[in-house]
Amino acid sequence: MRCRHCQCALSLPMVDLGTMPPSNAYLTGAEQFANEKAYPLKVWVCQYCWLVQTEDFTKADELFTADYAYFSSTSASWLEHARQFATQSRVRLGLNAQSFVVELASNDGYLLKNYQAAGIPCLGIEPTTATANVARQLGLEVVSAFFGKMLAERLYTQYRQADLIIANNVLAHVPDINDFVSGISLLLSDNGAVSLEFPHLLNLLTQCQFDTIYHEHYSYLSLHTVQTILHTAGLRVFDVEQLPTHGGSLRLWCCHQQAQYETYDSLQQVLALETQARLTSPVAYHGFQQRVVGIATKLKDFLQQCHAEGKTVAAYGAAAKGNTLLNYAGIDSRLLPVVYDAAKSKQGKFLPGSHIPIVSPDLLVNNPPDVVIILPWNIADEIKAQLRQQCHTALTFVTAVPSLIISE
């Protein structure tokens, strides 16, 4: 296989997670178990541009189907993150009723509705029909398509160039990263700005966040590599923020090479962190597989011990990252009989691979288990606070990444 950015042959493997179903392919009934599709999940490192990437196996349209179950509006902390971003970007770029904002992968409109409320013209691009329809019900205009150079050309003629392009938490999901970034460059006005948010590869490595690896995440990104990719499309980074979201993310502010934005010190600071962690050397990637095995084994041992002691155990949060963890560790409904999730779109379905049934958290409140395994560890504090408030008995909480942590 060749690198998706620079086309060099890939020879440095980072981790092999075996064969897994796509993390967001929730099943609606037991009759689907036998026909479930699974694909190899292996991550390679390009030793030329240092893009960390999954092995090619299937087309994007097989993964992001019409019933794709992830709705951004389900998480309260995420909605707050979006609201703050909208206010910050409006002030920073001086956006007003004459501006034009485009969001790539606008999901259910959780972010754009803030610009709409402020009277700023905006447009969403969202390939997933179910989420796009929710956004349309809010009165937002949404184009249902995958973004790339071709779509950018169409939008450019049909609408106009954008003063702000938001591509938060989408870059990692794009199979053809060069085409996507070229599209951004085409659609961006001369003095416009782009916001790019993505989980930072640095944290994936230091915190061993291997459960953030799944087929729908094609790339695992550093500032170093994204900067290289942007340069090829005539764009540059002028500011970087480090965010706590998704276990540690970067938000890059980018513009055309000749645009009037001064470059902030933050750029050199984050690049220095990456150099310190030796992200552009094979050393940083050695031993990752062994650390993954350690985390998976510890969780399975813990569940077997609970089972032997007659404790009741359940999982909370049917997040994609939970699926990678459970399927790699070989944990199914015998050790973890149920997963609670607040998203109505997931309730009544089954997790891919492990086939654990997803039910409403109301059932947990009425009949709390002894131990709750929180799968989306990035929002563990929010989940714990919520459950403590709702349940009248003491609960034991467990998170597995970066190491097994048991708390009350």
Contact residues for Zn ion (CB under 5 A)? 3, 5-6, 46, 48-49, 51
The least distance separating Zn ion from the CB of residue 198, rounded to whole angstroms, comes to: 17
- CB closer to Zn ion out of 51 and 86: 51
6 token code pair = 């620079």
Token representation of residue 259: 């645009």
In the complex, least distance from residue 10 CB atom to Zn ion, rounded to whole angstroms: 8
Distance CA 203, CA 220 (A): 10
Q: Measured from the CB of residue 39, what is the shortest distance to Zn ion in angstroms?
A: 22
Contact 26, 346 (CB under 8 A): yes
**Nearer to Zn ion (CB atom), residue 7 or residue 290:** 7
3-state secondary structure (DSSP) of residue 202? helix
Rounded Cα distance, 349 and 344, in Å: 10
- Taking the complex as a whole, the smallest distance from the CB of residue 211 to Zn ion amounts, in Å, to 25
* Cβ proximity to Zn ion, 6 vs 338, nearer residue: 6
C-alpha dist (Å) from residue 38 to 19, 35, 317, 324, 334? 6, 9, 22, 12, 21
User: Which residue, 229 or 296, is less far from Zn ion as judged by CB?
Assistant: 229
User: What's the closest the beta carbon of residue 272 comes to Zn ion, in angstroms?
Assistant: 22
Which residue, 51 or 95, is less far from Zn ion as judged by CB?
51
Q: DSSP of 234-279, one letter per residue?
A: TEEEEEEEEE-GGGSEEEEEEEETTSSPPPPTHHHHHHHHHHHTTT
Nearer to Zn ion, 51 or 143 (CB): 51
Q: What is the DSSP letter of 10?
A: P
Q: Which two tokens stand for residue 78?
A: 């995420």
Give the shortest CB-52-to-Zn ion separation in angstroms: 10
Residue 73 half-sphere exposure toward CB, CA atoms < 13 A: 16
Give the distance from CA 239 to its chain's centroid: 21
Amino acid letter, residue 256: H
CB of 4 to Zn ion, least distance (A): 7
Q: Indicate the residue among 47 and 360 with the shorter CB distance to Zn ion.
A: 47
Q: Are strands 249-256 and 188-199 parallel, antiparallel or unpaired?
A: antiparallel
CA dist., res. 15 & res. 34, Å (int): 27
H or E segment at 373? strand 371-374
User: Which is closer to Zn ion, CB of 43 or CB of 46?
Assistant: 46
Burial of 377 (0-12, 13-18, 19+ CB in 10 A): buried
Least separation in angstroms between CB 282 and Zn ion: 14
**In terms of DSSP bridges, do strands 122-125 and 142-143 run parallel, antiparallel, or are they unpaired?**
parallel
Minimum CB distance to Zn ion, residue 206 (Å): 22
CB-nearer residue toward Zn ion: 232 or 333: 232
Of the two residues 1 and 272, which places its CB atom closer to Zn ion in the complex? 1
The DSSP code sequence of 73-108 is: GG-HHHHHHHHHHHHHHHHHHT--TT--EEEES-TT
Q: How far is the CB of 167 from Zn ion (least distance, A)?
A: 20
Q: Which two tokens stand for residue 212?
A: 């953030």
Q: Which residue has the tokens 């796509």?
A: 22
Q: Which amino acid is at 142?
A: V
